């Protein structure tokens, strides 16, 4: 065959292969266009999972009559003009491909009206049709797009579509996701002429939370901690779920960068690492995070659907993200410490608050000092924070009794608290062990009688590779055969433990990941220490404690990082405030 230019219809069909995979990808492109056009309201209606018909109505700027044909032409866009624009692109679209791609594989009707026009204009076309001239169309300002019979003209692609039900569930996911990404947007979704859900704009704290609860579920909101932090050139806000809301699937992990939903392996890994201390590695954390940074720091032009991005300085952003989230999860009960202590790297300390608490701020300003008090009720802004801290009753209150040898009952300023003694103590032991890693653990204690250990060949290889990582921690071993290891020295801190078991646990944990790095090793050591803490030092259920012993434990929990969860991510204590108690007894109704 000789070389020839492809006809434009075929070029559009090829482009559609990248951009339009299913009704949900059409919805994504059209919702993004509406958002780029400044819409504050988007109505979505689908028939048969969007395969038969999908229509989107917005109240954005609209498209002028003379530009309607251009909007349907490939590589025509109103969003960028130059390479400089592309490098700093703030709009969701910029490639000028979506509308022509959709029109290449489905029947399309595009109605649009700008505020300056008295009525709108409409274009209707089928795949392969030449562009017709617009016809007048009465309508409110904004844009209305109807896409029918997707892939009708491309049977090979139509075969890849699933049942209407499955396609609808993808539509639903995309609609919720875009709604999450645009907090000021009102969205509704209809399927087969039935309204399935709608959300209003959520600009103040309370309505924002209602909105997220509607989109992600009440339970997520009930378990969410507010995160709000600025530093290192990154503004971070959103909600992260307490470890107790962990999931078996990574289905509630939403990260938006400058308003764009991004699914990035390294971001996911950074967040997983942030939870590593409080979550079993088979469980998935849940979060909804908004990051704002200079658009020049991210390259969004990596993939046609733009769900992958590249960071100019990924290490810095990931470390920052991991540390900040880690701090919020780890926040001990005395929140005041977190608020006044400078965060690593110089930024303001992350703000921690239960969802719905008065500490919610959106303005990016440092929180006032009495923030901690406001979390527990009686804030008094006039007095200095230090004085308040002295007068404040301890957050976990004072112990009243031990119940069934398992729980401590404690009275607080505004209710009661039940503490799982064993779980809480386990966490305290673990954190103490970890705090000592840097010093005592690093001291190696040579073994008089080296320990011989038989493991699988692959574990022996792993151990050999890990030798240079383990040595600085005081753990020295060498490979003495295909399946033989010889432990010659152990960390002084762990001298009393079962060394063979320690090494086995460590190797098992390391072998679960395909890469060996400092982060992974730290995680493995944490988990081995966690088991050690669980097996040894912890208070066993059933032991009698005196009131002073109980109060000492409560004070220890208050000052221990991550003490809200045990090493396995279960809560270590629960609170019932007076309102909850009154509800239990149906008082005040
Ligand atoms: P891109 O979004 O990459 O620019 P599209 O093919 O998605 O490319 O859209 C082409 C152009 O049509 C956009 O640049 C925009 O000017 C216009 N447009 C598309 N949808 C809308 C809409 N809902 N409201 C206003 N203008 C729109
Ligand atoms: Mg677009």
Pocket probe mutation, ligand 1, options 29, 36, 80, 141, max atoms within 8 Å of Cβ: 36
User: Rounded distance, CA 515 to CA 506, Å?
Assistant: 14
φ, ψ for residue 196, nearest 5 deg: -95, -40
From first to last of the 589 residues of the chain, give the pLDDT tens digit: 899 898 888 888 887 888 899 999 999 999 999 999 999 999 999 999 999 999 999 999 999 999 999 999 988 898 888 888 888 888 888 888 899 999 999 999 999 999 999 999 999 999 999 999 999 999 999 999 999 999 999 888 899 999 999 999 999 999 999 999 999 999 999 999 999 999 999 888 889 999 999 999 988 988 889 999 888 889 999 999 988 788 888 889 999 999 999 888 888 889 998 988 788 777 889 999 999 999 888 888 777 777 778 888 888 888 889 999 988 888 765 332 223 223 333 334 344 444 434 222 223 332 222 222 222 223 333 333 333 344 456 888 899 999 988 899 999 888 899 998 888 887 777 777 677 665 555 678 888 889 999 988 888 988 998 888 788 778 899 999 999 999 999 877 677 677 888 888 888 877 776 666 666 777 777 777 766 666 655 555 567 888 888 888 888 888 888 777 776 677 788 888 888 888 888 776 5
User: Rounded distance, CA 262 to CA 571, Å?
Assistant: 31
- At 292, list the tokens: 């704002």
- What pLDDT sits at residue 576? 86
Distant-in-sequence, close-in-space partners of 149: CB < 8 Å, separation ≥ 6: 51, 52, 53, 106, 107
Distant-in-sequence, close-in-space partners of 36: CB < 8 Å, separation ≥ 6: 60, 79, 91, 92, 93
* CA angle, residues 86, 87, 92, in degrees to nearest 5: 55
- What pLDDT sits at residue 589? 55
**Contact between residue 48 and residue 42 where contact means Cβ atoms under 8 Å apart:** no
Pocket probe mutation, ligand 1, options 42, 99, 182, max atoms within 8 Å of Cβ: 99
Ranges of beta strands (E only) in 528-580 are 573-577
Taking the CA of residue 29 as reference, the ligand 1 atom at the shortest distance is 7
**Contact between residue 398 and residue 410 where contact means Cβ atoms under 8 Å apart:** yes
Distant-in-sequence, close-in-space partners of 274: CB < 8 Å, separation ≥ 6: 285, 321, 322, 323, 324, 325, 326, 329
SS3 string, 129-177, reads CCCCCCEEECCCCEEEEEEECCCCCCHHHHCCCCCHHHHHHHHHHHHHH
What residue's CA is closest to ligand 1, atom 13? 77
User: Rounded distance, CA 286 to CA 291, Å?
Assistant: 16
- The closest ligand to the CA of 114 turns out to be 1
Q: Count the helix, strand and coil residues of the chain and give each as a percent rounded to the nearest 5.
A: 40, 25, 40
From the CB of residue 490, how many other CB atoms can be counted at a distance below 10 Å?
24
User: Rounded distance, CA 498 to CA 503, Å?
Assistant: 9
**Contact between residue 65 and residue 117 where contact means Cβ atoms under 8 Å apart:** yes
**Contact between residue 490 and residue 474 where contact means Cβ atoms under 8 Å apart:** yes
Q: Which residues surround ligand 2, an ion (CB under 5 A)?
A: 33, 93, 98
3-state secondary structure of 289: strand
User: Rounded distance, CA 15 to CA 9, Å?
Assistant: 10
**Contact between residue 228 and residue 262 where contact means Cβ atoms under 8 Å apart:** no
Taking the CA of residue 101 as reference, the ligand 1 atom at the shortest distance is 6
What residue's CA is closest to ligand 1, atom 16? 78
User: Rounded distance, CA 321 to CA 255, Å?
Assistant: 11
Taking the CA of residue 58 as reference, the ligand 1 atom at the shortest distance is 23
φ, ψ for residue 451, nearest 5 deg: -100, 130
**Contact between residue 563 and residue 332 where contact means Cβ atoms under 8 Å apart:** yes
- What pLDDT sits at residue 369? 27
User: Rounded distance, CA 330 to CA 352, Å?
Assistant: 10
- At 248, list the tokens: 């078996």
Q: Give the predicted TM-score (pTM) of the model.
A: 0.67
In 438-540, alpha helices (H): 457-470, 499-511, 518-535
- What pLDDT sits at residue 567? 65
Place of tokens 């009794």: 401
Facing residues of 44 across strands? 56, 189
221, containing H or E segment: helix 218-222
From the CB of residue 386, how many other CB atoms can be counted at a distance below 10 Å?
10
Ligand 1 cavity residues, CB under 6 Å: 29, 33-34, 37, 58, 60-63, 71, 77-79, 93-99, 143
3-state secondary structure of 174: helix
Kind of pairing between the strands at 573-577 and 253-257: unpaired
Ligand 1 centre from 33 Cα, in Å?
5
Ligand 2 centre from 30 Cα, in Å?
7
**Contact between residue 407 and residue 387 where contact means Cβ atoms under 8 Å apart:** no
Query: 108: closest CA among 119, 99, 96?
Result: 99
φ, ψ for residue 330, nearest 5 deg: -80, -15
Query: 69: closest CA among 130, 143, 19?
Result: 130
- What pLDDT sits at residue 198? 96
**Contact between residue 33 and residue 42 where contact means Cβ atoms under 8 Å apart:** no
Query: 228: closest CA among 129, 346, 359?
Result: 359
Taking the CA of residue 61 as reference, the ligand 1 atom at the shortest distance is 25
C-alpha distances out from residue 223 to 220, 236, 285, 356, Å: 5, 19, 12, 11
From the CB of residue 466, how many other CB atoms can be counted at a distance below 10 Å?
19
- What pLDDT sits at residue 285? 93
Taking the CA of residue 95 as reference, the ligand 1 atom at the shortest distance is 3
User: Rounded distance, CA 504 to CA 497, Å?
Assistant: 13
Query: 124: closest CA among 72, 191, 67?
Result: 72
| Strand ordering across the sheet containing 476-481 | 444-454, 484-491, 476-481
Ligand 1 centre from 72 Cα, in Å?
9
- What pLDDT sits at residue 514? 62
- The closest ligand to the CA of 35 turns out to be 1
C-alpha distances out from residue 533 to 435, 518, 525, 527, Å: 13, 22, 12, 10
User: Rounded distance, CA 578 to CA 589, Å?
Assistant: 14
User: Rounded distance, CA 532 to CA 298, Å?
Assistant: 42
- What pLDDT sits at residue 480? 93
Kind of pairing between the strands at 287-292 and 253-257: parallel
Ligand 1 centre from 460 Cα, in Å?
58
Ligand 1 centre from 60 Cα, in Å?
11
End-to-end CA distance of the chain: 84
User: Rounded distance, CA 385 to CA 442, Å?
Assistant: 38
- What pLDDT sits at residue 541? 56
What residue's CA is closest to ligand 1, atom 1? 96
């Amino acid at each position: 065959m000789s070389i020839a230019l492809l006809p434009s219809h075929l070029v559009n069909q090829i482009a559609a292969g990248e951009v339009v995979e299913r009704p949900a990808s059409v919805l994504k492109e059209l919702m993004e266009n509406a958002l780029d056009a400044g819409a504050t309201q988007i109505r979505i209606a689908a028939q048969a999972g969007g395969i038969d018909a999908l229509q989107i109505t917005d109240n954005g700027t609209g498209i002028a009559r003379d530009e309607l044909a251009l909007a349907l032409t490939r590589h025509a866009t109103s969003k960028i003009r130059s390479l400089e624009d592309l490098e700093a692109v703030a709009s969701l679209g910029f490639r000028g491909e979506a509308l022509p791609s959709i029109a290449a594989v489905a029947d399309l009707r595009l109605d649009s009206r700008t505020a300056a026009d008295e009525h709108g204009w409409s274009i209707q076309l089928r795949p392969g049709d030449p562009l017709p001239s617009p016809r007048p169309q009465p309508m409110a300002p904004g844009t209305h797009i109807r896409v029918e019979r997707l892939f009708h003209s491309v049977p090979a692609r139509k075969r890849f579509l699933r049942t209407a039900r499955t396609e609808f569930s993808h539509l639903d996911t995309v609609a919720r996701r875009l709604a999450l990404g645009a907090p000021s947007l009102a969205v509704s979704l209809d399927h087969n002429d039935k309204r399935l859900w709608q959300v209003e704009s959520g600009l103040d704290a309370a309505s924002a939370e209602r909105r997220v609860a509607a989109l992600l579920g009440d339970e997520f909101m009930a378990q969410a901690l507010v995160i709000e932090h600025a530093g290192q050139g990154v503004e971070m806000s959103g909600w992260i779920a307490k470890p107790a809301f962990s999931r078996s699937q990574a289905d509630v992990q939403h990260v938006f960068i400058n308003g764009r939903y991004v699914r990035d392996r390294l971001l996911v890994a950074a967040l997983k690492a942030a939870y590593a201390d409080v979550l079993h590695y088979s469980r998935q954390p849940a979060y909804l995070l908004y990051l704002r940074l200079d658009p020049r720091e991210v390259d969004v032009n990596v993939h046609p659907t733009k769900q992958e991005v590249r960071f100019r300085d990924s290490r810095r952003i990931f470390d920052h993200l991991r540390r900040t989230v880690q701090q919020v999860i780890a926040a001990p009960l005395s929140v005041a410490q977190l608020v006044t202590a400078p965060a690593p790297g110089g930024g303001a300390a992350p703000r921690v608050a239960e969802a719905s608490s008065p500490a919610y701020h959106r303005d990016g300003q440092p929180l006032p000092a009495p923030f901690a008090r406001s979390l527990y009720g009686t804030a008094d802004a006039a007095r200095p924070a230090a004085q308040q801290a002295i007068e404040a009753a301890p957050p976990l209150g004072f112990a009243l009794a031990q119940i069934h040898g398992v729980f401590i009952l404690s009275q607080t300023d505004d209710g009661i608290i039940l503490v799982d003694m064993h779980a809480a103590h386990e966490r305290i032991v673990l954190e103490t062990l970890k705090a000592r890693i840097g010093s005592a653990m690093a001291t190696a204690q040579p073994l008089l009688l080296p320990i011989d250990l038989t493991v699988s060949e692959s574990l022996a290889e792993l151990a050999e590779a890990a030798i240079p990582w383990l040595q600085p921690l005081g753990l020295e071993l060498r490979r003495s055969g295909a399946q033989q290891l010889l432990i010659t020295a152990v960390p002084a801190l762990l001298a009393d433990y079962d060394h063979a078991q320690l090494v086995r646990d460590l190797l098992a944990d390391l072998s679960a990941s395909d890469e060996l790095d400092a982060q992974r090793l730290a995680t493995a050591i944490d988990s081995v220490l966690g088991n050690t803490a669980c097996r040894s030092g912890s208070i066993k259920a059933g032991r009698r404690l005196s009131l002073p012993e109980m109060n000492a434990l409560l004070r220890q929990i208050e000052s221990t990082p991550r003490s809200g969860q045990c090493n396995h991510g279960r809560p270590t204590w629960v609170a019932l405030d007076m309102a909850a108690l009154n509800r239990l007894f149906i008082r005040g109704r």
